[in-house]
Amino acid sequence: MGDDGAVGLAEMHDAGSTTIAQDEATCVVYGMPRKAVECGAVDEVRNLEEIVKSLIELR
């Protein structure tokens, strides 16, 4: 998998955005979230259901 998404997420993270990645256990293909976690671009790693709840709370 490429790392262009991880680079973009890192830029958002560095600009002050809260960033979330899907955990490996609930992810069909973990390559992209793994890259983001490895480069330090992720504040929180959550399962898919928790991500949905977090997004609803942001509204």
pLDDT at res. 2: 66
Residues lower than pLDDT 50 in the chain: none
Structural domain including 22 reads 4-58
Largest CA distance in the chain: 31
Q: How far apart are CA 41 and CA 33, in angstroms?
A: 10
**pLDDT tens digits for 33-48?**
999 999 999 999 999 9
How many structural domains does the chain have? 1
Q: How far apart are CA 44 and CA 41, in angstroms?
A: 9
DSSP the chain: --SHHHHHHHHHHHTT---EEE-GGG-S--HHHHHHHHTT--SEEE-HHHHHHHHHHH-
